[in-house]
Structure 1
Amino acid sequence: MSRYLISAIEQALWSLLNFGVNLLLIRFVAPEQYGAFAFWAAVGFVLSSLQNALTVCHLQVLAPGEATAPERLPVERLMHGVNLLFLLATGAVVLAVTLAWRAGGNPYGAPAAALFVPAYLLQQYVRALVFSRGRPGQATIQTALVCVLAAGSLAVVVIPNHAVGADPLLLALGAAYALVGVGGMAVAAGGQGRWWVPGRKLLTYGGYARQSGWIFLGVSSTELLTRFYVFVAAGAFGPSALAALTATQQLLRPIPLLASSWGLVARGDLARRRDAGDWLGYGGLVLAALAAGAVVAGLWTLLIYETWPTITARLFGGKYQDADWMVALWGLAAALGFGQAVVSTAIQVLKAFKALALANAAASLVAAGAILALIKGLGPAGAVLGTAAGQALELAVMAAILAAAIAARRRPAPAAP
């Protein structure tokens, strides 16, 4: 229980960081600039899922242990090298895209995103790495440092200048992520050798590539499901509409973040139950999380909806007061997202990556189609309702996959002839 409590504290800090950043920008920054920042933040979230497929997921299915444990060391060294190449490639591509957009007058052309995106990804990698070792306390310290550095840098950049653009915002946050990410990586990988020189060991990644392919299909589909609205709204309605959608979602983000907090610790417990054949305990842990999540999501959404006029008046500087209907819709999507995260974690621990990927792909196509269809008649509301429709389908299919996977593993092996 202490590990779950520490993980919840860490997730609360992470949630406070994200909410604090967005609250500061909502109140003091013009909607157009906030929308541009929200666009690149969404890109970071999407690429974080790709990073998860390439590297993090292979660490999270290992039993918790020390950095130099024989069963972890070769896998960690390999994933460190793969992730380094991924970060370098990401930074180069983002820089090229933002410079081209800046030259063409695109409102999302912010070259500082070339620092922000890979720095954010590095911090997320280190955070997941230490959680996979069963060290939530270490992750909590790192997240607290990010909070302190981000608060200081943004206060200097935003408060004196309300007309600040997206570039200084991304640069300030990117510097905080980079400092903590580099320092955290140096500590976490200490004693593991020269992992930053990939060399021949990258050839051994082929053994993980097939699983990564299915994981990539799954996480990319999930991100299409949860972030597709960002890119559709950004293109169809511009930065101001995207700012409204993002602002109304902010106070509901603790719901899926709570599911993420549960998953970071529960993976180890689920893995132990899997290895021990304790399928009753495995399913019970998942069902308990789903029930608790449904209650928390419902109560939290009701609280935010009822207090929305006060929130917008006192926290948002009077902005987005008439968008309370978005809060109710986002509450539905957040509750479904909590269930998705819990069931997906349980399926990943069983290594049923192919089935999970196919379910995610089907749901993402439904969501994308629903968003494109509904957004024409309902405007921004269609973006949220389409997202929720895809989430509901995915949750139902994933629950069936998990039940079938557990049932298959509970069957006794056939007797030898």
Structure 2
Amino acid sequence: MRRSILYSVLDQAALSAFNFALAFALIRIWSDNPEVFGIYSMVFAGSLALISVQNALINAQFTILRPKATSESDESTLLSMFWTVNVAVVFCAMLLMFASILATGGDLALAASAAAYVGATLLREYTRSHHFSDMNVLAVLALDGVSLAISIGLFAAAYAFGPPLGLPILFAILAAGLLIASGLAIRMHRQHYRILADRETVAFYRAVWRKHSFWALMGVLTSEFQQRGYVFVVAAAFGAGSVALIQAAALLFRPIQLVTHAWGKLARAVLADHLARGDVARARAFTLQSFAVLGALFLAFSAALALGWPFISDVLFRGRYTDLGAIVVLWGIAAAVIMSTGIFSLEVQTLMRFRELSFGAALGALVCAVVLAAVVLFGDFRASVLAVIGGQLAFFAVVLCLLPKTKPRFAAKIGPAPELRTKGAPPSPLERGVAEP
């Protein structure tokens, strides 16, 4: 476990450093045209939102159900079923991004490259979840290293020999690295990446959708509105330049968000194992230990950010993004609440209580919408971060109420499957893995 955690930290540190450096490089490159960085921020925010949708429909489900497979054949069938659904989700996400950019006045090259980037991101996220669910974190580290090396090499070549960096070239480079890494991951476990389009697959996923994925999706949509809805509201009401300013401050805390996301990949498998055995107390201890460690990391990071603010403001932002100080403080509060909500909600998710979580997320989205309406009414886009804070605080309060008591009785939530088989036929191990909510 310690080695897996070390590999996960190294992997996320590398991804965080790359995304952090890339964002600041883009701010400097496009310092005279912040609207371009605003468009990049909107595409990036859209990709993160689509990853959350993918997690609700697929990744979270197979990570929790995979430990219940009792043979390699059952495991292969289970994962191939989810891979089939994932292919459809990736295709729909690419079409959505392509159509959205064309509908908002973007050109064909930008729409195609952004769609390719979104599709590649979802493919890589699926393969990462596959390895995390098997606790094979070293494979994640190696393949993410390949992706980063390819992207960095292509950026260097584009800088040395290509035209000035534009959005189509940027998204094409990022997509190339992600696609190659995903291809390598798929080749390593080809038996888990078959397309299954038979009645059994449809019936199996219909049961997963009815019992879990639908409610998880509802929760994700409302939660995503809390965390990233401000991007599109600010863009519509105040323009892409305002988005650039808000996102320039937000990116300072992106490493913390990425580390929490990486922790979730590993923690989901650990919690699923504990709760499958009915050991709620051990699962809670793991959650609290994670909160303590990630909380200490957040405090250390915030202290370093405060000490280095003069350098960040004068050198990295070149003084182009004024009045960032107050927004950065607000984002610090927002990042702390988002991190706390993410840590504790994972335990509730692992118990498959997606329906209850969706109601909590809806409450948070309502609070967020009210604050955003006030922001638009009063005309101060900087206050949009308050919408994130308010929505997440409301959601966090609900999550705390949903946490199970540390008694084994909650283990029954991971009990027998709904009826998926023909009458009189014995249940398969896969069917026994689909839990009642």
Could you state the TM-score of these two structures normalised by the residue count of structure 1?
A: 0.89
Determine the structure 2 residue equivalent to 1:415.
none
1:25-36 to structure 2, matched below 5 A, reads 25-29=26-30, 30-36=33-39
- Which residue of 1 is the match for residue 147 of structure 2? 146
- Partners of 1:66 and 1:404 lie apart in 2 by 27
Measure, in 2, the Cα distance between the counterparts of 1:70 and 1:343. Answer: 33
Q: Give the SS at the match of 1:164.
A: coil
Runs of 4+ in 1 over 6 A off after TM superposition: 65-68, 159-162
Any conservation in 2 of the 1:48–1:121 contact (CA below 8 Å)? yes
Extract unaligned runs of 5+ from structure 2.
Answer: 413-437
What one-letter code is carried by the residue in structure 1 that aligns with 2:52?
S
Shift of 1:408: 5.3
| Cα RMSD after superposing both structures | 2.7
**Residue 138 (structure 1) shift:** 0.6
Distance 1:355 1:180, change over 3 A: same
Structure 1 residues 294 and 378: alpha-carbon distance in aligned structure 2, compared to 1, 3 A threshold: farther
C-alpha distance after superposition, 1:272-304 (max 9, x if no partner): 221333222221221222233333323322321
Aligned residue for 1:168, secondary structure, equals helix
1:117 deviation in Å?
1.0
The answer to whether the Cα contact below 8 Å between 2:154 and 2:173 also exists between their aligned partners in 1 is yes
Query: Where in structure 2 are the equivalents of 1:269-348 lying within 5 Å?
Result: 269-348=270-349
After the TM superposition, which residues 211-222 of structure 1 pair with which residues of structure 2 at under 5 Å, given as runs? 211-222=212-223
Cα deviations by residue, 1:224-268 (Å, 9 ceiling, x for unpaired): 110011111111221221111111111211222222222222222
| Inter-CA distance 251–160: structure 2 relative to 1 (3 Å threshold) | farther
Q: Show CA shifts across 1:20-64 (max 9, x none).
A: 221221111231111111111111111111111221111111355
Measure the CA separation in 1 of the matches of 2:409 and 2:383. 39
Find 1:38's aligned residue among 25, 41, 46: 41
8 Å Cα contact 2:275/2:411 also seen in 1: no
Judge which range, 216-225 or 296-305, deviates more: 296-305
Q: Percent identity?
A: 27
Classify 1:282/1:67 alpha carbon distance in 2 versus 1 (closer, same or farther; 3 Å).
closer
The code of the aligned residue for 2:191 comes to G
Distance 1:243-1:288 versus aligned 2 partners, 3 A rule: same
Partner of 1:87: 90
Q: Contact conserved, 1:157 with 1:164, CA < 8 A, in 2?
A: yes
1:58 corresponding residue in structure 2: 61
Aligned residues of 2:39 and 2:240 also touching (Cα < 8 A): yes
Once residues 118 and 318 of structure 1 are traced to their aligned partners in structure 2, the CA distance between those partners, rounded to angstroms, is: 35
Taking structure 1 as reference, are residues 296 and 28 closer, same or farther at Cα in structure 2, changes over 3 Å only?
same
Which amino acid letter does the alignment assign opposite residue 249 of structure 2?
Answer: T
What is the identity, as a one-letter code, of the residue corresponding to 1:51? Q
CA distance in structure 2 between the partners assigned to 1:183 and 1:65 by the alignment: 26
What residue identity is the alignment partner of 1:207? Answer: A
Structure 2 distance, partners of 1:94, 1:374, is 27
Compared CA separation, residues 138 and 127, structure 1 to 2 (3 A): same
Change (3 A) 1:95 1:284: same
The 5 A counterparts of 1:105-184 are 110-157=111-158, 164-184=165-185
- Pick closer, same or farther for the CA change 1:144–1:242 going to 2, 3 Å: same
Deviations 1:70-118 (A, max 9, x none): 4422210001111111112222332233334337x89x96432121111
TM-superposed CA distance for 1:410, in Å, is: 8.0
Aligned residues: 407
CA distance in 2, matches of 1:37, 1:338: 24
More moved, 253-262 vs 6-15: 253-262
Pairwise CA distance, 1:146 = 1.6
Distance across 1 between alignment mates of 2:390 and 2:126: 30
In structure 2, distance between residues paired with 1:394 and 1:100: 33
Contact 1:256 1:335 in 2 (8 A): no
- For the Cα contact (< 8 Å) 1:81–1:198, is it kept in 2? yes
Question: 2 CA distance for matches of 1:135 and 1:248?
Answer: 34
Say which is worse superposed, 200-209 or 116-125, in terms of deviation.
200-209
1:78 has 2:46 as partner:
no
Pairwise CA distance, 1:4: 1.3
> Which of 98, 106, 115 is the aligned partner of 2:101?
98
Change (3 A) 1:321 1:148: farther
Worse-matched range after superposition: 152-161 or 31-40: 152-161
Deviations 1:126-175 (CA, angstroms, capped at 9, x unpaired)? 11111111111111111111211222223334577795332222222122
Distance of 1:290 and 1:283 partners within structure 2: 10
Letter of the 2:55 partner, please give it: N
1:235 match: 236
Supply the distance in 2 between the matched residues of 1:212 and 1:156 (Cα, whole angstroms).
43
For the 8 Å contact 1:37–1:170, the answer to whether it is kept is: no
CA contact (8 A) 1:229 1:371 kept: yes
Give, as a single letter, the amino acid of the residue that structure 2 aligns with 1:275: A
| Structure 1 unaligned spans of 5+ | 412-417
Could you say what secondary structure the match of 2:104 adopts? helix
- Judge conservation of contact 2:348–2:404 (CA < 8 Å) in 1: no
Instruction: Flag the 1:101–1:158 CA change in 2: closer, same or farther, 3 A.
Output: farther
Maintained 8 Å contact 1:65/1:133: no
Q: CA deviation at 1:182?
A: 2.5
C-alpha distance in 2 between matches for 1:262 and 1:97: 32
Q: CA deviation at 1:67?
A: 12
User: Quick one: structure 1 residues 68 and 217, their matched pair in 2 at CA, closer, same or farther if it must change by over 3 Å?
Assistant: same
SS at match of 1:277: coil
Q: What secondary structure sits across from 2:72 in the alignment?
A: coil
For the residues of structure 1 that align with 2:411 and 2:361, how far apart are their CA atoms?
A: 25
Q: Which letter does structure 2 place at the counterpart of 1:87?
A: V
Deviates more, 1:179-188 or 1:389-398: 179-188
Q: Is the 8 A contact 1:376 1:382 kept in 2?
A: no
Q: Is the 8 A contact 1:82 1:198 kept in 2?
A: no
TM-score under structure 2 length normalisation: 0.86
Relative to structure 1, the CA distance from residue 23 to residue 68 in structure 2 (aligned partners, 3 Å threshold; closer, same or farther) is farther
**Paired amino acid for 1:282:** A
Determine the structure 1 residue equivalent to 2:208.
Answer: 208
